[in-house]
């Protein structure tokens, strides 16, 4: 029979919560077989091995922090610039921050600011006189 996790131990993300990791490791350390513990908590053997290796290396089976790089443009500075220059085109914003237009477009999407339109010179056709 599979062990049903209480809501507090269920995670909304893909990784297993730290409490579950410790439950499985402690059960195996207290004499239960690995297969029985993994089946009880519905955990794969590869996840268990990863947790054991992580515990050996760091001393804990906690979820390691992700290494995320900072954004190229500061959110506050970009938002302030947009408030001061609401009619600025993406290329103008990019030139101000010395970034590419793609980078500014991505930052605007991240901030949920509607995308500024591209500056396009439109040619008008002349009608031929009949």
Vertex 128: Cα angle to 123 and 126 (nearest 5): 15
**What pLDDT shows up at residue 1?**
43
What is the DSSP secondary-structure string of 94-108?
Answer: HHHHT--HHHHHHHH
- Locate 75 and state its tokens: 């959110």
Q: What is the mean pLDDT of each run of 10 residues along the chain (130 residues)?
A: 53 74 93 92 92 91 80 89 89 93 91 67 62
- Global pTM reads 0.47
H helices of 44-100, in order, are 45-58, 75-84, 90-97
């Amino acid at each position: 029979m599979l062990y049903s996790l209480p809501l507090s131990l269920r995670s909304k993300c893909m990784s297993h919560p730290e409490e579950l990791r410790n439950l499985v490791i402690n059960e195996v350390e207290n004499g239960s077989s690995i297969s029985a513990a993994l089946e009880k908590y519905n955990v794969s053997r590869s996840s268990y091995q990863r947790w054991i290796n992580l515990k050996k290396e760091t001393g804990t089976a906690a979820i390691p922090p992700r290494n995320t790089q900072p954004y190229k443009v500061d959110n506050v500075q970009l938002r302030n610039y947009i408030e001061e220059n609401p009619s600025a085109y993406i290329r103008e914003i990019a030139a101000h921050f010395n970034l590419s237009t793609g980078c500014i477009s991505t930052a605007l999407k991240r901030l949920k600011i509607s995308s500024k339109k591209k500056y396009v010179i439109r040619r008008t056709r002349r009608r031929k006189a009949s």
